[in-house]
């Protein structure tokens, strides 16, 4: 974390309820640190944030535009998220994967292997999946749009797991029904 003089600056957070569960945004002076989605209640979400960031937390209406955008997204609106993110805790490989994943358009899905090829790592589908499993910015970096090469959904590390991933893809129109388990993959060179 960024240290200023002899102290660490506060970290701001805001929790809010959406149609798909409780969400939280955690913010620093450098940008968004984390986005948490899909929690069944406020208390488990707050506990996770406090455990991660400790006593420097300040409850504040951080980035109202981001909170508003997430709320609109969960209401079914196509939203383009454009805000500063604090990438300082991410490895160069994670940054490369996340920046490429950000290019996957709303309403489409791309295979892990296809994303690996886009970053010049043709045999790296598992490494891409591993990086995406640690995504601190779900929705901003739409890791839910990255699926297995056979059209199955693969994993999702947010609370609710694969069921939440399916709901997000359904919300975007990628999956026509919540009962479907395979998705059409968009392949780009």
Residues serving a catalytic function are: 143
What stretches of 20-93 adopt beta strand conformation (E)? 21-28, 31-39, 57-59
Measured in residues, the chain has a length of: 189
Task: Please check whether residue 85 is in contact with residue 138, taking contact to mean a CB–CB distance below 8 angstroms.
Answer: no
162 vs 145: CA distance, rounded Å: 12
Long-range pairs, 34-37, Cβ under 8 A, ≥24: 34/136, 34/137, 35/66, 35/70, 35/136, 35/137, 35/138, 35/139, 35/140, 36/138, 36/158, 37/70, 37/138, 37/139, 37/158, 37/159, 37/164
User: Which residues are 37's β-sheet partners?
Assistant: none
114 Rama class: left (phi>0) / alpha (psi -120 to 50) / beta: alpha
């Amino acid at each position: 974390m960024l240290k200023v003089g002899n102290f660490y600056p506060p970290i701001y957070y805001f929790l809010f309820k959406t149609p798909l569960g409780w969400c939280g945004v955690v913010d620093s002076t450098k940008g968004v640190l984390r986005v948490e989605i899909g929690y069944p209640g406020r208390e488990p979400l707050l506990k996770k944030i406090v455990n991660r960031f400790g006593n420097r937390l300040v409850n504040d209406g951080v980035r109202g535009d981001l909170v508003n955008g997430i709320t609109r997204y969960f209401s079914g609106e196509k939203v383009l998220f454009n805000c500063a993110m604090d990438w300082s805790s991410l490895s160069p490989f994670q940054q490369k994967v996340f920046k490429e994943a950000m290019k996957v358009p709303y309403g489409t899905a791309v295979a892990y292997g296809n994303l690996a090829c886009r970053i010049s790592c043709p045999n790296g589908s598992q490494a891409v999946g591993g990086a995406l499993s640690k995504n601190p910015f779900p929705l901003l970096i739409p890791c839910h749009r990255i699926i297995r090469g056979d059209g199955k959904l693969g994993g999702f590390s947010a609370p609710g797991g694969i069921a939440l991933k399916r709901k997000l893809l359904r919300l975007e129109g990628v999956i026509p029904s919540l009962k479907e388990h395979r998705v059409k993959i968009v392949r780009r060179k």
